[in-house]
Structure 1
């Protein structure tokens, strides 16, 4: 079910998916551009009820995978919205050779949404390169996996221990240790973060975690204090 998160942006939570022995909740965002077209960020499982809600908002024109890990449901959306353009982050074309992408996501906004959505590529991580977005009208920064937070009781047994050590659970969303430890180019990551912190962020949305609805820029500074020192 879609929930409005701000001006011209909606979110929907989907079923959990399993990867690496862990189950992850899923979340997507729908952004309506000034021309009425919709951009779908990190598409979740497409159910008939969700499709009806999305169609009521406008025409789906862009399908965006923000990093190379969030691609499981792209093909379902591509079949449902054959005229929509698909955009791939670094590394995804090689992983999903079965999908014909229309363009690549990089360090500058795609022309179709430039001026309404900004973006920064956060490079230098061995797990994935993530494209972070900023939606101007709602003041929302969209992270995917770089910031996470799960409920205390989400994991059990040894997985709960690993999640706690990895900083996946806690009072506030944080950058998991596995991402902190796999930044092999921290200078590049800091440069990307400087650009992200220049955005007038009010809210922060992530695929796995409680959304931040005020003082977004201050939250991002806290989340990345380990990187900036």
Structure 2
């Protein structure tokens, strides 16, 4: 259920979810900090097997909704781990009034900052996304702003839409629906300039196979349309 991906970092796949007729696989990451506590990124459905594996790693301290779209399973994690603090973009309050969460702190001010950096990417009409970098494993974590699906993931007209959207390219890319909905590119560009200087080797995406090499250059190429 939990697969090691790097130093103190594990990945787990969750169920496929349907959005507007498209089926998306889900993926989460568990990061163990120096004090033994756990940072759970983009939680997937919490099965008994997954919970046992998580509990064997350490105490869940942080639950992370990395953007305003990945929130389907947060309530069950909050019930299971009431001692954990949930962080999410403030825009999520409009959709999930049933959740109790805190806004993300300023960069460098979070309790996890010694091991994990984060940058908030604002300026998009679809979602606000928080991108993370785990220093010990040199892993950058994107949720929806970078994706890559296999060409056989979709059929019929959905396959054509996915191709036109840039979801099934040969390398991870920013889907066109996100590219075209950046209403404030200046703000987004400032955030991305901080992200592309991270010395990332590995790339984790919620929707796409993880990469173990050359992540920094892959991220740069994915955003070359935005960055000079």
TM-score by length of 2: 0.97
Within 2, Cα distance between the matches of 1:75 and 1:109? 27
Aligned pairs for 1:33-72 (under 5 A) are 33-72=33-72
SS in structure 2 opposite 1:52? helix
Aligned pairs for 1:163-182 (under 5 A) are 163-182=162-181
Contact 2:27/2:206, CA 8 A, preserved across alignment: yes
SS in structure 2 opposite 1:226? coil
Shift of 1:109: 4.3
Contact 2:166/2:174, CA 8 A, preserved across alignment: yes
Aligned pairs for 1:127-142 (under 5 A) are 127-142=126-141
Aligned-CA RMSD value: 1.1
Contact 1:106/1:120, CA 8 A, preserved across alignment: no
Within 1, Cα distance between the matches of 2:191 and 2:214? 20
Within 1, Cα distance between the matches of 2:193 and 2:205? 19
TM-score by length of 1: 0.97
Shift of 1:170: 1.9
Aligned pairs for 1:75-224 (under 5 A) are 75-101=75-101, 103-224=102-223
Within 2, Cα distance between the matches of 1:224 and 1:32? 29
Segments ≥4 residues shifted beyond 6 Å: none
Shift of 1:75: 0.4
Contact 2:193/2:227, CA 8 A, preserved across alignment: no
- Distance change >3 Å, CA 127–CA 107, structure 1 → 2: farther
Contact 2:202/2:213, CA 8 A, preserved across alignment: yes
Shift of 1:149: 0.9
What are structure 1's unaligned runs of at least 5 residues? Answer: none
Shift of 1:90: 3.0
Q: Match for residue 28 of structure 1?
A: 28
Shift of 1:62: 0.8
Deviations 1:57-102 (A, max 9, x none): 001111000000000000011111111111111311221101111x
Shift of 1:228: 1.9
Shift of 1:110: 4.8
Range with greater deviation from structure 2 (56-65 or 212-221): 212-221
What are structure 2's unaligned runs of at least 5 residues? Answer: none
